[in-house]
Amino acid sequence: MYSYHEVMTYCEEEDVKFIRLAFCDLAGNQKNISIMPSELKRAFEYGISFDASAIYGFGNEVKSDLFLFPDPSTLSVLPWRPAQGRVVRMYCDIRYPDGKPFRRDSRYLLKQAIAEAEKRNISCYFGVEFEFYLFITDEEGNPTKIPFDQASYMDIAPEDKGENIRREVCLTLESMGIQPESSHHEEGPGQNEIDFRYSDALSAADNAVTFKSVVKTIAMQNGLYASFSPKPLKNQSGNGMHINISIKSPNGKKDSDAFMAGVLKYIREISAYLNPTEESYLRLGEKKAPKYITWSSENRSQLIRIPAAKGEYVRFELRSPDPTTNPYIAYALLIYAGLDGIRKQIPLCEPLDQNLFIADQSVTDTLEKLPANLKEAIEQANQSSLIQQYIPDILD
């Protein structure tokens, strides 16, 4: 964690030549402006202006000037750039010219949710399991649909050709202060998974955005294309972004169960943000991706799984989100849903200890389902009291 003065000193002493001021559009795509060290003081004091009308979800040309204010605690060296004339990156807060927070800044939305939880003495922690495919590129560097290998779940080299890519990604992240927990080949050909140790919500969201950019960069440097599409290959496993959530509160398991009950209650309403593309819904309901709103221990056919774990690793795993989500908005909505569950002490339904991928229709016909497509998910979001209360501005 760096302070303003430490960042200024670091950039002066470590031959930093470019500072990337990073932020996300409403869809969670990373954007940035590069400034020279001579402009850094101005960035901290007055912000760096940009044209918000050109950014997805930020509005039109009317009153389109917004300002980026770097968060010094997020300073990170980009290790794939030259050591001489270093490039560093900081995530930014976005403000209007009068200094007020920009209400469509998804990082700001998450900060608001965290503050709401803190009012109730509740801390939320997130750990993510990211899946992605590696595809071969053609002679001009354009992506194909040819997987990098034909390996399967947890295979090793030589069948698993992604081993060195994952290694390079993990070492790069580690040098940036981000701690991967494990990595392996996933079920699909050319499909990989890298999992992260839990951290506070804001750091977890920042790290998720960083992770995607690192994977894409390392893949490109190796002549490959990394795809985070929810369903890049028709008859193969889709890419999930399983979100593991644990909370600390004065009431312990009682609040944890109510938090999970809140997520289950609002999951249909927030699915448009956890699964924001048409392809998202091609993944759900097959190859270990959930379809029904249920939970169980150690059961990967359920929407929420309680993994076998002890002590600080106790958590619940939400299995529906995919990597196209904006993690700031996703975590904010999950926090609000969980807090509502705690406030109302929503009772947690009974677990369903069955394999829902092979369960009899007499069982599945009684279960509530996730939205079947993006249109249905958007309709649910537009009618959501939770979204209208906490993030109404992003619906305009």
Span 267-299, pLDDT tens digits: 999 999 999 999 999 999 988 899 999 999 877
pTM for the whole structure: 0.95
**Given this chain, do its domains 4-102 and 112-395 carry the same CATH topology?**
no
pLDDT of residue 64: 79
Q: Is the peptide bond before 158 cis (omega within 30 degrees of 0)?
A: yes
pLDDT of residue 339: 98
Q: Is the peptide bond before 321 cis (omega within 30 degrees of 0)?
A: no
pLDDT of residue 358: 84
- 3.30.460.20, 3.30.590.10, 3.30.1020.10, 2.60.40.10: which CATH number matches 112-395? 3.30.590.10
Q: How far, in Å, are 129, 304, 387 from residue 242 at the CA level?
A: 5, 10, 22
Beta bridge partners of 200: 125
pLDDT band at 82, cuts 50/70/90?
Answer: confident
pLDDT band at 1, cuts 50/70/90?
Answer: low
| CA 21/CA 34 separation, integer angstroms | 6
pLDDT of residue 300: 81
Domain ranges of the chain: 4-102, 112-395
Q: How many residues does the chain have?
A: 396
User: Homologous superfamily of 4-102 in CATH?
Assistant: Glutamine synthetase, N-terminal domain (3.10.20.70)
Q: pLDDT for 38-81, tens place per residue?
A: 999 999 999 999 999 999 998 765 467 999 999 999 999 999 88
pLDDT of residue 85: 83
The single-letter DSSP state of residue 118 is H
| CA 204/CA 210 separation, integer angstroms | 10
